[in-house]
């Protein structure tokens, strides 16, 4: 990746879209103009993420009303088995954010359909590879410390949830395909309608008819496949403004190169997706871990909901950067990075203030235990810092995806998270006896280091060179060939 110039705009740089660059008022106008573009993508993307996140959360809530074992089975399957698959599928599907976004920006519209089909081939194959994890989940869960009773119940539920695995494989490429074209409202409406249906049928099957885990599996599988079918119907009927022109054998061309980018995306996102989840596992190794585990689980729950906002901005900046680089407008891509970073960090600071202001009260929304609430209050400061860091870090990851830097960021994540942050947390928590506060503090250090490195990388990037590489990437994977073939 070529680098040479700082991210800030020079006063004497020219811009095709704006005049008198460098004047404060003009900068404010530019900021507002770019913010509108970002929020048109980020707003629906945030709500879509919340709707889809709520499918599993509602299923877990309804099964919790049936019994403790049913709740444990769904919770463990969702967080461990399906969580593993979700992270891998989402990560591999994110390769389309680079390719579809840049192809769309370069006006190679028909290539988006080809890219989506290539991603389907790779993700469905990956789903087949992951099926044994679902089949053999009971011994895997016992290996990581779950009881035999919970492992067997979760393993049984995992078998029933294999259809969801393949829904992931089809869904994520579709979402990146639509997202690159800024058709995020379509995804939002579909997800919202499915969520309403999911809520009603979960109540009907799980509680009213008493089907328990069977009803949970039926509703959750059906809901995910309804999302897939509805999105596919929209694409097939509308042709997505020319981005879909039917199935083609070009989907099998250069799969190896496509697989490399998909794997880099998967590694990059999975390393981030699983990092904070590891805190809960490590905390469970403490002496008398029940109260610390409950407290940190409450904090991770709040952080998880806040992450939905960051995911929306991640999607928005990925689309903006890839579109503008694909169109060759590197200055707008660079300015978009500044706008989304300032916006996201501002929201993170507001959330941090709310967390700190309510630290003596919000724990009681999740627990009736005074001991757990007090421990959660002690962790509020660490939660606040994490919220601020996580408001910027996913945005910078979105920039990386939009520009195609997945491999570089994967190496940065490995170094910062698993070579620095995780060992630091273990040493502080166990060797120095700081407990859960030490574990979390060390891992925050890893996030802070990664964020600083990504800020430096983004700041010294030669965006003009990135635009040229985007053009080369589109041509390399058949953009000009397909365009000529269809003309």
Q: Each residue of 51-61: pLDDT tens digit? A: 888 888 788 77
Other Cβ atoms closer than 10 A to 67 = 12
Tokens for 332? 């707008």
Calculate the alpha carbon distances from 311 to 44, 304, 320, 391, 422 in Å: 11, 10, 14, 9, 23
pLDDT for 4: 43
Query: Is the separation of the CB atoms in 158 and 85 below 8 Å?
Result: no
Query: Is the separation of the CB atoms in 458 and 333 below 8 Å?
Result: no
Q: Residue 108 domain-assigned?
A: yes
What is the C-alpha to C-alpha distance for residues 422 and 415, in angstroms, rounded to an integer?
A: 10
C-alpha angle 325/115/179, rounded to 5°? 60
pLDDT for 470: 63
- Residue that the structure tokens 């979760």 belong to: 154
Query: pLDDT tens for residues 345-363?
Result: 898 899 999 999 999 998 8
What pTM does this model have?
0.73
Q: Residue 15 domain-assigned?
A: no
Q: Residue 12 domain-assigned?
A: no
Per-residue b or e along 57-66, where b marks 16 or more CB atoms closer than 10 Å to that residue's CB: ebbbebbeeb
Percent of the chain with pLDDT over 70: 85
Query: pLDDT tens for residues 395-441?
Result: 777 677 666 676 777 788 889 988 999 999 999 998 898 888 999 99
Q: Residue 42 domain-assigned?
A: yes
226: left (phi over 0), alpha (psi -120 to 50) or beta: alpha
pLDDT, averaged per 10 consecutive residues of the chain (487 residues), comes to 42 45 69 86 87 84 78 77 83 76 77 89 92 93 78 90 95 89 90 96 92 93 97 92 84 76 72 71 74 78 78 78 75 83 89 93 80 89 90 76 70 88 92 89 90 84 70 58 40
pLDDT for 107: 77
What is the C-alpha to C-alpha distance for residues 25 and 37, in angstroms, rounded to an integer?
A: 19
Q: Residue 311 domain-assigned?
A: yes
Query: Is the separation of the CB atoms in 432 and 351 below 8 Å?
Result: no
Query: Is the separation of the CB atoms in 311 and 49 below 8 Å?
Result: yes
CA atoms within 13 A on the CB side of 307: 16
Q: Which domain holds residue 433?
A: 24-482
Calculate the alpha carbon distances from 101 to 72, 105, 108, 202, 249 in Å: 40, 6, 10, 36, 22
Q: Residue 16 domain-assigned?
A: no
C-alpha angle 342/345/348, rounded to 5°? 150
pLDDT for 423: 93
Query: Is the separation of the CB atoms in 95 and 172 below 8 Å?
Result: no
What is the C-alpha to C-alpha distance for residues 389 and 341, in angstroms, rounded to an integer?
A: 11
Q: Residue 91 domain-assigned?
A: yes
Q: Residue 1 domain-assigned?
A: no
Q: Can you spell out the DSSP letters for 10-75?
A: PTT---SS-SSTT-HHHHHHHHHHHHHHHHHHHHHHHHHHHHHHHHHHHHHHHHHTT-HHHHHHHH
Number of domains in the chain: 1
Q: What is the DSSP-derived secondary structure letter of residue 284? A: T
Other Cβ atoms closer than 10 A to 12 = 7
CA atoms within 13 A on the CB side of 469: 16
């Amino acid at each position: 990746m070529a680098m040479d110039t700082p991210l800030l705009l020079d006063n004497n740089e020219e811009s095709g879209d704006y005049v008198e660059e460098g004047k404060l008022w003009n900068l404010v106008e530019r900021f507002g103009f770019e913010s509108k573009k970002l929020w048109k993508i980020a707003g629906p993307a945030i709500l879509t993420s919340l709707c889809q996140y709520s499918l599993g959360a509602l299923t877990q809530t309804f099964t919790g009303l049936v019994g403790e074992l049913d709740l444990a089975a769904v919770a463990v399957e969702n967080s461990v088995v399906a969580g593993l698959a979700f992270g891998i599928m989402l990560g591999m599907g994110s390769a389309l954010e680079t390719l579809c976004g840049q192809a769309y920006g370069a006006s190679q519209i028909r290539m988006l359909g080809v890219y989506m089909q290539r991603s389907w081939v790779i993700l469905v194959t990956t789903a087949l590879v992951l099926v044994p994890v679902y089949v053999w989940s009971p011994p895997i869960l016992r290996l990581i410390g779950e009881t035999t009773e919970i492992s067997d119940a979760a393993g049984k539920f995992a078998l029933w949830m294999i259809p969801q695995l393949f829904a992931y494989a089809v869904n994520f490429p579709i979402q990146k395909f639509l997202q690159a074209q800024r058709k995020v409202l379509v995804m939002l409406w579909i997800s919202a309608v499915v969520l309403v249906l999911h809520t009603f049928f979960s109540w009907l099957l799980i509680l009213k008819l008493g089907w328990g885990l069977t009803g949970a599996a039926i509703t959750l599988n059906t809901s995910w496949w309804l999302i897939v079918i509805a999105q596919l119907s929209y694409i097939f009927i509308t042709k997505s403004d020319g981005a879909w022109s039917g199935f083609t054998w070009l989907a099998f061309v250069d799969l190896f190169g496509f697989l490399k980018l998909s794997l880099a995306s998967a590694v990059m996102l999975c390393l981030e997706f699983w990092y904070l989840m590891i805190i809960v596992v490590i905390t469970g190794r403490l002496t008398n871990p029940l109260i610390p585990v409950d407290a940190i689980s409450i904090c991770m729950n709040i952080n998880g909901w806040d992450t939905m906002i960051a995911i929306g901005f991640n999607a928005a900046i990925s689309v903006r950067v890839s579109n503008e680089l694909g169109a060759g407008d590197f200055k707008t891509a660079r300015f978009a990075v500044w706008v989304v970073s300032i916006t996201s960090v501002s929201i993170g600071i507001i959330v941090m203030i709310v967390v700190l202001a309510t630290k003596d009260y919000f724990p009681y929304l999740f627990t009736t235990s005074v001991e757990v609430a007090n421990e959660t209050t002690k962790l509020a400061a660490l939660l606040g810092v994490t919220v601020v860091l996580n408001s910027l870090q996913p945005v910078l990851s979105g920039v990386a995806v939009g520009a195609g830097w997945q491999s570089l960021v994967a190496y940065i994540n490995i170094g910062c998270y698993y070579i620095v942050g995780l060992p630091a947390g273990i040493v502080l928590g166990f060797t120095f006896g700081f407990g859960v506060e030490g574990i979390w503090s060390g891992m925050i250090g890893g996030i802070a280091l990664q964020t600083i490195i990504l800020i430096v990388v983004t700041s010294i990037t030669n965006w003009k060179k990135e635009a040229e590489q985007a053009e080369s990437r589109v041509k390399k994977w058949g953009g000009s060939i397909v365009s000529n073939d269809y003309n």
